[in-house]
Amino acid sequence: MDSMELEKLMERLRRASTAVEYEYAENDRRLTWFLVFQAFLFQAYATALQALATANGAKADVEYVRLFVWLVCAVGMATAAFTGLSTGAGIVAILSLKRTREERVEAEAEAAGFERMGFGVKNTLHWLGLLPTIIFPWLLLLAWWWLLARALRSGVALLP
């Protein structure tokens, strides 16, 4: 393999690795944004419950807070579902890029005499590392659903 072919191979390896790193970074940003936003929503939920507990019988204020509780739960569920779907799509993209890198680029590198790195997608540790990304959005979706169901049943939340 001449130096020009070697340089092209090295560039393909760098590009493949950069694409995988980019997708991981995108999922990290999605999950970070999601968790920060969820913290604000949980605080809003707690503040609304506190407002209901200390309400002095002003019916308009109580109805407003009850609608707000429903809205906070609905937004929490929607952002959890959208984040779960988008991080899932990101994981599928990562797996596809890793598979391409392993099957094509790494195979070419091995044929050129480079050691195979073994970045495969069948690694158990890889999947264990993705558990928070996979589970957190769906876990919080269930938490918001449970909070909304409980609030509706107890009369704390009011459907619009």
pLDDT higher than threshold 70 for residue 118: no
Query: Of all residues in the chain, what percent carry a pLDDT higher than 90?
Result: 44
Spatial distance between the Cα atoms of 97 and 122, rounded to a whole number of angstroms? 13
What number is the average pLDDT over the span 71-99? 93
C-alpha 13/C-alpha 105 separation (Å) is: 6
Closest to 146 measured CA to CA, from 51, 42, 48? 42
Report whether 69 contacts 156 (CB < 8 A). Answer: yes
- Mean per-residue pLDDT of the chain: 86
Q: What is the pLDDT of residue 1?
A: 66
Structure tokens at 146: 């449970």
Where along the chain do its domains lie?
A: 3-154
pLDDT, tens digit (0-9, with 9 covering 90-100), for 2-50: 788 888 878 887 888 898 899 899 999 999 999 999 999 999 999 999 9
pLDDT digits (tens, 9 = 90+) for 88-115: 999 999 888 888 877 777 777 777 777 7
Global pTM value: 0.81
Q: Residue 77 above 60 pLDDT?
A: yes
User: Does the pLDDT at position 57 exceed 80?
Assistant: no
Interaxial angle between packed helices 3-53 and 59-100, expressed in degrees from 0 to 180 and rounded to the nearest 10: 160
